Amino acid sequence: MGENKQRMLAGDWYLPDDPELAADSERRSRLCAAYNAEGGDPPAARDAVLAELLGSVGPGVRIRPPFRCDFGYHIRIGEGTFVNFGAVFLDVAPITIGAHCQFGPDVQLLTPSHDLDARRRREGWERGDPITVGDNVWLGGGVIVCPGVTIGDATVVGAGAVVTRDLPAGVLAVGNPARVIRTLT
């Protein structure tokens, strides 16, 4: 494994313009294209593509295409989770999704971060911070989850919210940035 990939996997600053990472991205591109093909394969064949693309997929996981990701192998999804159309999971760092979650359309889980220094951004440096979504979480349509965020079990995030920091278990959060407005029973 090359140095840039090792640095990426460790959550350190790395340069994504790397032949090994480009090959991983090409693999992802091929698998996403197969998964997202209109009127394509029967469900069992699509499930096999998803299992090859992602790090792990629990039983009963359903992801409606189109689905996009950076690499796929950093994504783990627990059983019975449903992800609606248009999801984007940028997985330069691990994305862990619990069991029995529901994601509305156009949800984005974004692990990459870029340097605030303009010179380093021009040079292409980036890093990733993991995202963790607990069990039984509902993310409404268009929710964006930023790098390094953990969302606790049984939390609901309202449509269009931007989650910039951790949310505890069992709350309703809305807005930009997302804020807790009440505890759920």
pTM (predicted TM-score)? 0.95
Domain spanning 3-183: which superfamily? Hexapeptide repeat proteins (2.160.10.10)
Q: Which pLDDT tens digits describe the chain residue by residue (185 residues)?
A: 889 899 998 999 999 989 999 999 999 999 999 999 977 667 888 899 999 999 999 999 999 999 999 999 999 999 999 999 999 999 999 999 999 999 999 999 999 999 999 999 999 999 999 999 999 999 999 999 999 999 999 999 999 999 999 999 999 999 999 999 999 98
Q: Which residue out of 12, 29, 114, 124 is catalytically annotated?
A: 114
Catalytic residue status for 114: yes
Alpha-carbon distance of 157 to 109, in angstroms, equals: 13
Q: List the chain domain ranges.
A: 3-183
**What per-residue confidence (pLDDT) applies to 24?**
95
Helix (H, G, I), strand (E, B) or coil at 43: helix
**157-163, Cβ contacts within 8 angstroms, sequence gap of 24 or more:** 159/104
- Digit-coded pLDDT (tens) for 104-123: 999 999 999 999 999 999 99
3-state helix vs strand vs coil in the chain, percent to 5: 25, 30, 50
pLDDT at position 42 is 77
- Looking at residue 38, what is its pLDDT? 75
pLDDT at 87: 98
Alpha-carbon distances, residue 58 vs 44, 54, 85, 97, 108 (angstroms):
14, 11, 19, 10, 20
State the pLDDT at residue 40: 63
